[in-house]
Protein backbone atom coordinates (compact mmCIF):
# COMPACT_ATOMS: atom_id res chain seq x y z
CA UNK A 1 0.00 0.00 0.00
CA UNK A 2 1.13 3.54 -0.65
CA UNK A 3 2.32 6.08 1.89
CA UNK A 4 -0.30 7.78 4.07
CA UNK A 5 0.16 11.51 4.51
CA UNK A 6 -0.86 12.76 7.96
CA UNK A 7 0.58 16.29 7.76
CA UNK A 8 3.27 18.20 5.91
CA UNK A 9 5.97 16.69 8.11
CA UNK A 10 4.50 13.29 8.96
CA UNK A 11 3.74 10.43 6.62
CA UNK A 12 3.45 6.74 7.43
CA UNK A 13 4.29 3.73 5.30
CA UNK A 14 1.13 1.98 4.19
CA UNK A 15 2.22 -1.36 5.61
CA UNK A 16 2.02 0.08 9.15
CA UNK A 17 -1.75 -0.39 8.81
CA UNK A 18 -3.40 -3.79 9.01
CA UNK A 19 -6.91 -4.40 7.76
CA UNK A 20 -9.36 -7.13 8.70
CA UNK A 21 -12.70 -7.68 6.99
CA UNK A 22 -15.83 -9.35 8.30
CA UNK A 23 -19.60 -9.24 7.99
CA UNK A 24 -21.47 -6.15 9.09
CA UNK A 25 -24.38 -6.37 11.49
CA UNK A 26 -27.87 -4.99 11.04
CA UNK A 27 -30.27 -4.92 8.10
CA UNK A 28 -29.15 -5.20 4.52
CA UNK A 29 -30.71 -8.31 3.06
CA UNK A 30 -28.62 -10.86 1.19
CA UNK A 31 -25.63 -8.55 0.90
CA UNK A 32 -25.08 -8.35 4.65
CA UNK A 33 -25.24 -12.15 5.03
CA UNK A 34 -22.59 -13.06 2.50
CA UNK A 35 -20.20 -10.14 1.90
CA UNK A 36 -17.40 -9.08 4.26
CA UNK A 37 -17.85 -5.30 4.13
CA UNK A 38 -16.98 -4.23 7.69
CA UNK A 39 -13.39 -3.00 7.93
CA UNK A 40 -11.25 -3.04 11.06
CA UNK A 41 -8.10 -0.93 10.75
CA UNK A 42 -5.31 -1.66 13.23
CA UNK A 43 -2.29 0.56 13.80
CA UNK A 44 0.38 -0.28 16.36
CA UNK A 45 1.78 2.99 17.72
CA UNK A 46 4.80 1.34 19.36
CA UNK A 47 5.94 -0.45 16.19
CA UNK A 48 5.34 2.40 13.75
CA UNK A 49 8.41 3.27 11.68
CA UNK A 50 7.09 6.63 10.52
CA UNK A 51 6.83 8.26 13.96
CA UNK A 52 9.53 9.55 16.30
CA UNK A 53 9.52 8.59 19.98
CA UNK A 54 8.18 12.03 20.91
CA UNK A 55 5.32 11.69 18.40
CA UNK A 56 4.49 8.21 19.70
CA UNK A 57 4.37 9.53 23.26
CA UNK A 58 2.15 12.45 22.21
CA UNK A 59 -0.21 10.07 20.39
CA UNK A 60 -0.44 7.67 23.31
CA UNK A 61 -1.24 10.59 25.62
CA UNK A 62 -3.81 12.18 23.32
CA UNK A 63 -5.54 8.95 22.25
CA UNK A 64 -5.20 7.23 25.62
CA UNK A 65 -8.66 5.67 25.75
CA UNK A 66 -8.61 4.56 22.13
CA UNK A 67 -5.27 2.71 22.30
CA UNK A 68 -5.13 -0.68 24.04
CA UNK A 69 -2.37 -1.97 26.33
CA UNK A 70 -0.38 -3.31 23.36
CA UNK A 71 -0.32 0.15 21.77
CA UNK A 72 -2.82 -0.77 19.05
CA UNK A 73 -5.34 1.75 17.76
CA UNK A 74 -8.47 0.09 16.32
CA UNK A 75 -10.92 1.79 13.98
CA UNK A 76 -14.02 -0.13 12.88
CA UNK A 77 -16.07 1.11 9.94
CA UNK A 78 -19.26 -0.43 8.56
CA UNK A 79 -21.07 2.68 7.37
CA UNK A 80 -21.03 1.90 3.65
CA UNK A 81 -22.25 -1.10 1.67
CA UNK A 82 -18.91 -1.81 0.00
CA UNK A 83 -15.61 -2.90 1.44
CA UNK A 84 -13.67 -0.32 -0.58
CA UNK A 85 -15.77 2.59 0.71
CA UNK A 86 -15.47 1.37 4.32
CA UNK A 87 -11.71 1.00 3.87
CA UNK A 88 -11.44 4.56 2.55
CA UNK A 89 -13.62 5.85 5.41
CA UNK A 90 -11.50 4.07 8.03
CA UNK A 91 -8.30 5.59 6.59
CA UNK A 92 -9.88 9.07 6.65
CA UNK A 93 -10.89 8.60 10.31
CA UNK A 94 -7.39 7.35 11.09
CA UNK A 95 -5.74 10.38 9.47
CA UNK A 96 -8.04 12.78 11.36
CA UNK A 97 -7.34 11.03 14.68
CA UNK A 98 -3.59 11.19 14.13
CA UNK A 99 -3.71 14.84 13.05
CA UNK A 100 -5.52 15.71 16.26
CA UNK A 101 -3.23 13.54 18.37
CA UNK A 102 -0.02 14.90 16.91
CA UNK A 103 -1.05 18.54 17.17
CA UNK A 104 1.05 20.16 19.93
CA UNK A 105 -1.05 21.33 22.88
CA UNK A 106 -1.56 25.06 23.25
CA UNK A 107 0.62 26.57 25.92
CA UNK A 108 -1.35 27.98 28.83
CA UNK A 109 -0.78 31.63 29.52
CA UNK A 110 -1.08 32.60 33.16
CA UNK A 111 -3.72 35.26 33.76
CA UNK A 112 -5.03 37.11 36.80
CA UNK A 113 -8.59 37.88 37.77
CA UNK A 114 -9.51 41.54 37.29
CA UNK A 115 -10.32 43.73 40.28
CA UNK A 116 -13.91 44.08 39.07
CA UNK A 117 -14.40 40.32 38.78
CA UNK A 118 -13.06 39.83 42.33
CA UNK A 119 -15.46 42.50 43.66
CA UNK A 120 -18.43 40.92 41.85
CA UNK A 121 -17.55 37.47 43.21
CA UNK A 122 -17.27 38.73 46.79
CA UNK A 123 -20.51 40.74 46.45
CA UNK A 124 -22.40 37.66 45.26
CA UNK A 125 -20.94 35.64 48.16
CA UNK A 126 -22.10 38.31 50.63
CA UNK A 127 -25.59 38.34 49.13
CA UNK A 128 -25.83 34.54 49.23
CA UNK A 129 -24.72 34.59 52.85
CA UNK A 130 -27.45 37.13 53.70
CA UNK A 131 -30.08 34.96 51.98
CA UNK A 132 -29.04 31.93 54.01
CA UNK A 133 -28.89 33.95 57.24
CA UNK A 134 -32.43 35.23 56.62
CA UNK A 135 -33.68 31.65 56.21
CA UNK A 136 -32.25 30.55 59.54
CA UNK A 137 -34.78 29.57 62.19
CA UNK A 138 -34.47 31.84 65.18
CA UNK A 139 -36.47 29.74 67.68
CA UNK A 140 -37.18 31.45 71.06
CA UNK A 141 -35.90 34.91 69.99
CA UNK A 142 -39.23 35.90 68.44
Give the whole-number percent of the chain exceeding pLDDT 90.
25
User: Which range has the worst mean pLDDT, 48-52, 60-64, 97-101, 137-141?
Assistant: 137-141
Residue 111 has a pLDDT of 93
User: Which range has the worst mean pLDDT, 29-33, 106-110, 112-116?
Assistant: 29-33
pTM for this one? Answer: 0.68
> What structural domains and CATH numbers belong to the chain?
4-102 (3.30.160.20)
Are 86 and 39 spatial neighbours (Cβ–Cβ below 8 Å)? Answer: yes
| Count of CA atoms in the C-beta half-sphere (13 A) of 68 | 8
Amino acid sequence: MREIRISERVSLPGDDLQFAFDRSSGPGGQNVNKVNTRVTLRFNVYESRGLSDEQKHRLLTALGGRVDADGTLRIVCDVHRTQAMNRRESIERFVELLRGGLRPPKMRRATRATAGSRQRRLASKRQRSQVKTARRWRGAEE
